[in-house]
Amino acid sequence: MSNFCYFVDLYWHQLTFKARPLPDDILLGGQTAIVTGSNVGLGFEAAKELASHELSRLILAVRDPAKGEAAKAEIARVAPKCDIQVWQLDQESWGSMVAFAERARTELDRLDITLLNAGLKRLEYTRSPTNHEAHVQINYLGTALLSLLLIEPLRRTARQTGKPGRITITASSVGFNAPVRDVLSPQGGSSIINWLDNPASFVPGESRYCLSKLLDMFWTRALASRLDASDVVVNTLNPGYCQSAFHRVDPTAEKASKYFAFTTVEGGRHLTDAAVRHPDSHGAYLSEQRIRSFSKFILSTKGEEVQQKLWDETIALFREECPEAHIGEFAKGKSSVDR
Ligand SMILES: NC(=O)c1ccc[n+]([C@@H]2O[C@H](COP(=O)([O-])OP(=O)(O)OC[C@H]3O[C@@H](n4cnc5c(N)ncnc54)[C@H](OP(=O)(O)O)[C@@H]3O)[C@@H](O)[C@H]2O)c1
């Protein structure tokens, strides 16, 4: 899709599409859901909507437990019977993510829905404590690692219930507008992740955020191709351009959001729709609450090569930088020596 068509499509949907809430007859009694980044914004609204459909247990996975408790109190008002728990999770810390997943593995008797939603946008280069560029770390590596670590409880539940678990990754259509040269021919060596971590690759503005969402789409496809849809259905979605604190670092986007953006509630509805409905969406991308095609680049032979390379690099990185993470059958990646 050309840039022009991309923006026409974006604005057309922003101005005409109205996200529907989950139908009343969707009842989630007995089920457990984890929502990351659920103290505010789209994650909060999605968590609230899931809870209000009789969800039995909701894990609010949040960086700041005090903010999580405030969110819990608000959600409890609409879903007093839901067991709402606040668990600390920082996607800038390998230790925090591993401890979170271990807790899920050992404390949850079932896990049905995992909504990997936490993310950020920065217009300037920032390095995470793990030494990766912040979008790479939080939006991509953190999401990818959690998706691997939570497969075990999802699969275990699928075997008990005879119904596949769900992993939904919040991406964005901006991923289709990312500068693909950075993943096609990374400079400074052959590694995509090393290149994106390098401050020399950073162009001030939104492009690194867009790239991180492109990586999320590649990861969704790569992971889905390695999972059986009868165990876990993995999909990714575009919530559209939404009002939330997300755009606080970007005055232009924040100002425009007053005119074009969906409300935060509407944004959350895109998340719940992808996480609960569409059982046929394994490896798929949803936008406007329906399955839509990935970009031509993602689907091309070159895109497939990037997807495989990114998978190999990511698995090797987890083995090296986070050896305490049990990534089981996925650990058979190349080591950094091969990268
Ligand atoms: N808003 C939009 O227009 C839009 C459009 C497309 C896609 N999205 C995607 O939707 C998702 C949610 O965005 P939003 O609009 O709801 O933004 P938001 O209101 O800023 O919420 C982002 C959430 O992510 C959490 N988070 C950030 N860094 C984290 C970390 N290191 N560890 C754990 N959690 C972390 C935040 O926690 P704190 O509150 O502690 O910072 C917050 O809960 C993001 O993935 C975003 O890329 C948003």
pTM over 0.85: yes
Residue 117 Cβ contacting ligand 1 at under 6 Å: yes
Which of the residues 140, 209, 241, 285 is marked catalytic?
Answer: 209
Residue nearest to atom 41 of ligand 1 (CA): 63
Strand partners, 58: 33, 84
Query: How would you classify the pairing of strands 285-287 and 290-292?
Result: antiparallel
Residue 245 Cβ contacting ligand 1 at under 6 Å: yes
Residue 143 Cβ contacting ligand 1 at under 6 Å: no
Beta strand extents in the chain (DSSP E only): 32-36, 57-62, 83-88, 113-116, 165-170, 232-238, 285-287, 290-292
Written as six digits, the tokens of 294 are 């990935």
Nearest atom, ligand 1, residue 174 CA: 6
- Topology given in CATH for the domain delimited by 3-322: Rossmann fold (3.40.50)
Written as six digits, the tokens of 50 are 């899931």
User: What's the pLDDT at 152?
Assistant: 96
**Ligand 1 centroid – CA 144 distance (Å):** 16
User: What's the pLDDT at 5?
Assistant: 80
User: What's the pLDDT at 336?
Assistant: 40
Residue type, 67: K
Q: Active-site residue 121, yes or no?
A: no
Query: How would you classify the pairing of strands 113-116 and 83-88?
Result: unpaired
Q: Active-site residue 11, yes or no?
A: no
Domain locations in the chain? 3-322
**Ligand 1 centroid – CA 241 distance (Å):** 13
Q: Active-site residue 213, yes or no?
A: yes
Mean per-residue pLDDT pooled into runs of 10, the chain (339 residues): 78 91 98 98 98 98 98 98 98 98 98 98 97 98 98 97 98 96 84 96 95 98 97 98 91 87 97 98 98 97 97 96 90 50
Give me the residue label for tokens 């990997």: 116
Which of the residues 213, 244, 285, 309 is marked catalytic?
Answer: 213
User: What's the pLDDT at 10?
Assistant: 83
User: What's the pLDDT at 338?
Assistant: 37
Residue 239 Cβ contacting ligand 1 at under 6 Å: yes
Give me the residue label for tokens 């503005």: 205
In this structure, are residues 36 and 86 in contact, taking their beta carbons and an 8 Å threshold? no
In this structure, are residues 107 and 99 in contact, taking their beta carbons and an 8 Å threshold? no
Residue 207 Cβ contacting ligand 1 at under 6 Å: no
HSE-CB at 321 with a 13 A cutoff on CA atoms is 19
For 293-298, the CB contacts below 8 A with 24+ separation are 294/176, 294/217, 294/221, 295/1, 295/175, 295/176, 296/1, 297/176, 297/180, 298/176, 298/214, 298/217, 298/218, 298/221
Which of the residues 147, 172, 173, 295 is marked catalytic?
Answer: 172
Residue 119 Cβ contacting ligand 1 at under 6 Å: yes
Task: Give the Cα separation of 284 and 282 in Å (integer).
Answer: 5
Task: Give the Cα separation of 237 and 25 in Å (integer).
Answer: 23
**Ligand 1 centroid – CA 338 distance (Å):** 34
Of the candidates 213, 165, 173, 203, the residue with the CA atom closest to the CA atom of residue 10: 173
Residue 118 Cβ contacting ligand 1 at under 6 Å: yes
Alpha carbon of 178 to those of 208, 249, 256, 264, 320: distances in Å? Answer: 8, 19, 20, 24, 28
In this structure, are residues 147 and 116 in contact, taking their beta carbons and an 8 Å threshold? yes
